[in-house]
């Protein structure tokens, strides 16, 4: 069968990782979580005390990480991405190191290499615009910053009851601002992307929409 590439891009907190993971699992395709790759670089820089603006050193750290697929899952240095990669500290740091063109260059090359000649679902900020412009299906998921902050607050409040919703909103807005306004590969929908605002949609509704679209526009069933 012909190679099928599906890209899902969008800002932080739209639930696109979950949607992409579920879509990949419904279609039995590998899932490439490119955010986890930027997070892995950020984690490593924090761990090794590397300044985020020291591009040469950050690139060195990036080149030392091993990314590979095990079946349909991405492994980082031989392990599943850990929960530590999802902390607020790593999230903010990832958005800062993602502004470095030389780091992006290394990771984009890795992403294309990982995809190889296979079909896959790839999720991030620049997958439809820069990494796989030839992709057959491109989606861009959005939701208002307020809805995204509310969802994140609900997810985290059990674990951290003192967490302030306004602070989460501020962090989301800071990340949006950095992701959308960086010079290299800024976050934006590809011209041929289907834009889905999921502010009022459930996770299942979104995944069903994605699956329906893939089945209607490709010969994948």
Residue 211, number of CB atoms within 10 A of its CB = 15
What residue is closest to ligand DC based on CB?
35
Round to whole Å and give the CA distance between 98 and 221.
Answer: 35
Residues 5-44 that bind ligand DC (CB under 6 A): 12, 34-35, 38-39
Round to whole Å and give the CA distance between 188 and 139.
Answer: 11
Indicate the residue among 47 and 215 with the shorter CB distance to ligand DC: 47
Shortest spacing between CB 216 and ligand DC, in angstroms? 26
DSSP 139: E
Q: Name which position in 22, 120, 126, 128 contacts ligand DC (CB under 6 A).
A: 126
Residues 158-177 that bind ligand DC (CB under 6 A): 175
Shortest spacing between CB 187 and ligand DC, in angstroms? 7
DSSP states of 61-128: HHHT--EEEETTEEEETTBPPPGGGGSHHHHHHHHHHTT-HHHHHHHHHHHHHHHTTS-EEEEESSII
- Which string of x and - marks every residue 76-95 that binds ligand DC (by CB under 6 A)? ------------------xx
Contact positions vs ligand DC (CB under 6 A): 12, 34-35, 38-39, 94-95, 98, 124-127, 175, 179
């Amino acid at each position: 069968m012909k190679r099928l590439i599906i890209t899902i891009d969008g800002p932080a907190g739209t639930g696109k990782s979950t949607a992409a993971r579920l879509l990949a699992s419904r279609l039995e395709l590998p899932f490439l979580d490119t955010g986890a790759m930027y997070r892995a670089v950020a984690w490593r820089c924090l761990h090794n005390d590397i300044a985020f603006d020291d591009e040469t050193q950050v690139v060195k750290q990036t080149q030392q990480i091993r990314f590979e697929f095990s079946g349909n899952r991405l492994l980082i240095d031989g392990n599943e991405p850990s929960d530590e990669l999802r902390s607020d500290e790593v999230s903010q740091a990832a958005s800062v190191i993602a502004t470095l063109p030389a780091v992006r260059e290394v990771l984009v090359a890795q992403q294309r290499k990982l995809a190889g000649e296979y079909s896959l679902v790839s999720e991030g900020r620049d997958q439809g615009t820069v990494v796989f412009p030839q992709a057959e299906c491109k989606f861009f998921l959005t939701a208002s910053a307020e809805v995204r902050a509310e969802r994140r607050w609900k997810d985290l409040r059990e674990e951290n009851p003192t967490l302030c919703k306004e602070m989460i909103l501020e962090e989301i807005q800071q990340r949006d601002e950095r992701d959308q306004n960086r010079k290299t590969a800024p976050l934006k929908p590809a011209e041929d992307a289907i834009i889905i605002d999921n502010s009022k949609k459930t996770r299942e509704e979104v995944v069903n929409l994605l699956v329906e679209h893939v089945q209607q526009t490709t010969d994948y069933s």
